């Protein structure tokens, strides 16, 4: 890996908001680093993320595979932190335009920085670049040892960031943790579908799994909100479909009633026609057909 960036942060302890580095080039690609001195979605760790510059402007199906490493040093050059997984290759794509570490280093270890200055270095080796291709939403990525599809990455990241067991116990070889996360991935996949495509059984199972996972220690308020939202949309869609069926039934009933009335009228006209002989057979039939269809048309417009 080559050293791609060195970012010096003065008065580190006084920084509260995220700090964005200047754009830099590595492997023929543009990047930037985002540093959160007080943590991103946490308050006790420094957070670090490597971003692709302007991912929304890139072509469909773009992707980059890169190995990268963060190094944190104090004023004297003493290394305080170095990414532990330097050989790990991550996929950057439209669904996952940034990678990093939410809990990089505890803030307690940064409380006595020499001259209150922190240096962030980034090392990168870009191993694959695709400027345009097929959609990457179903590409497989490695997330802490779990193989998931790219479109699920942010949902899974949101889950693990709120799990109290994440920092010390998120390992695929831990069977109990792995089982929990497999349930979570299934739950995320279910709630990613359109509400209209879900069945009542799927929603019931999702509620059951969510309850079990919450009782197991997961903090899943946001996912519970998502389930409530999907359930509400499903009920609306079901009610809408039911209303449409009911409307169609009422239309058929009204048409049947109209036809019944016309049959009665037909009998009356027949009697009058036979007695007065003023309406020819063809005129009579034409009259009934027009009246029937006019009544149907009038009903459908209402």
Strand ranges, E, within the chain:
2-9, 19-20, 24-26, 29-36, 45-52, 63-73, 79-82, 89-93, 98-106, 118-130, 140-143, 146-149
Total domains, the chain = 1
Asked whether residue 206 is assigned to any structural domain, the reply reads no
pLDDT digit string, tens, across residues 58-92: 999 999 999 999 999 998 989 999 998 777 899 99
CB 152 within 8 A of CB 192: yes
Residue 144, domain member (yes or no): no
CATH number of the domain at 128, please. 2.60.210.10
> For residue 66, with 0-12 CB atoms within 10 Å meaning exposed, 13-18 middle and 19 or more buried, which class applies?
buried
Task: Return the C-alpha torsion angle 224, 227, 231, 234, nearest 10.
Answer: 160
- Rounded to whole angstroms, the Cα distance separating 32 from 20 reads 7
Q: At what angle do helices 200-215 and 221-276 cross, to 10 degrees?
A: 160
pLDDT score recorded for residue 79 = 93
pLDDT above 90 for 51? yes
**Residues in CB range of 37: below 8 A, 6 or more apart:** 9, 12, 13, 15, 16, 19, 46
Q: Are 125 and 27 in contact (CB under 8 A)?
A: yes
Structure confidence at residue 167 as a pLDDT band (50, 70, 90):
very low
- Note down the domain range covering 115: 1-132
How do residues 170-192 score in pLDDT, each as one tens digit?
A: 444 455 556 666 677 777 778 77
| pLDDT value at residue 259 | 56
**Beta carbons of 116 and 46 less than 8 angstroms apart:** no
Indicate whether 126 belongs to any domain.
yes
pTM of the model: 0.61
The angle formed by the CA atoms of residues 42, 48 and 49, to the nearest 5 degrees, is 115
CA–CA separation, 234 and 214 (whole Å):
23
* Rounded distance between C-alpha atoms, residue 302 and residue 294, angstroms: 13
Q: In this structure, what DSSP letter does residue 86 have?
A: T
What would the two tokens of residue 291 be? 């009246």
Task: Please indicate, yes or no, if residue 75 is contained in any of the structural domains.
Answer: yes
Residue at 107 is within a domain: yes
pLDDT given for residue 286 in this prediction: 46
- Mean of the pLDDT values across residues 5-28? 94
The residue-averaged pLDDT of 30-34 equals 97
221-230 average pLDDT score: 82
Q: Is the CB of residue 71 less than 8 Å from the CB of residue 82?
A: yes
Q: Quote the pLDDT of residue 290.
A: 46
Q: Look at residue 111 and tell me whether its pLDDT is greater than 90.
A: no
Residue 127 lies inside a defined structural domain of this protein: yes
| Average of per-residue pLDDT across 143-168 | 65
Q: Which of 30-44, 173-187, 255-269 has the lowest mean pLDDT?
A: 255-269
Does residue 66 sit within a domain?
yes
What is the rounded distance in angstroms from the CA atom of residue 31 to the CA atom of residue 21?
9
Look at residue 254 and tell me if it is in a domain.
no
The number of CA neighbours under 13 Å toward the Cβ of 110 is: 30
Residue that wins the pLDDT comparison between 198 and 129: 129
What is the chain's length?
Answer: 302
């Amino acid at each position: 890996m080559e050293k791609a960036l060195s970012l010096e942060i003065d008065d580190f302890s006084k920084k509260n908001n995220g700090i964005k580095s200047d754009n830099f080039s590595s492997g023929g690609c543009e990047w930037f680093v985002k540093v959160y001195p007080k943590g991103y979605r946490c308050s006790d760790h420094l957070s670090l993320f490597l971003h692709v510059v302007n991912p929304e402007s890139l072509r469909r199906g773009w992707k980059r595979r890169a190995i990268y490493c963060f190094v944190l040093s104090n004023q004297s050059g003493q290394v305080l932190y170095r990414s532990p997984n330097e050989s790990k290759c991550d996929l950057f794509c439209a669904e996952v335009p940034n990678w990093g570490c939410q809990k990089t280093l505890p803030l307690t270890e940064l409380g006595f920085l020499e001259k209150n200055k922190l240096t962030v270095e980034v090392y990168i080796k870009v191993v694959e670049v695709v400027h345009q291709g097929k959609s990457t939403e179903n590409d497989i990525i490695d997330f802490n040892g779990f193989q998931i599809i790219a479109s699920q990455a942010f949902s899974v990241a949101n889950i693990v960031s709120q799990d109290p067991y994440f920092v010390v116990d998120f390992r695929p070889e831990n069977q109990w943790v792995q089982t929990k996360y497999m349930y979570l991935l299934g739950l995320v996949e279910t709630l990613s579908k359109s509400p209209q495509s879900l069945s009542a059984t799927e929603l019931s199972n999702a509620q059951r799994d969510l309850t079990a996972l919450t009782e197991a220690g997961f903090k899943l308020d946001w996912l519970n909100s998502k389930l409530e939202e999907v359930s509400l949309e499903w009920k609306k869609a079901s009610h809408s479909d039911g209303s449409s069926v009911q409307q169609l039934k009422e239309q058929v009933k009204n048409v049947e009633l109209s036809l019944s009335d016309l049959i009665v009228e037909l009998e009356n006209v027949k009697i009058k026609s036979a007695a007065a002989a003023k309406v020819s057979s063809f005129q009579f039939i034409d009259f009934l057909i027009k009246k029937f269809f006019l009544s149907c048309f009038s009903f459908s417009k209402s």
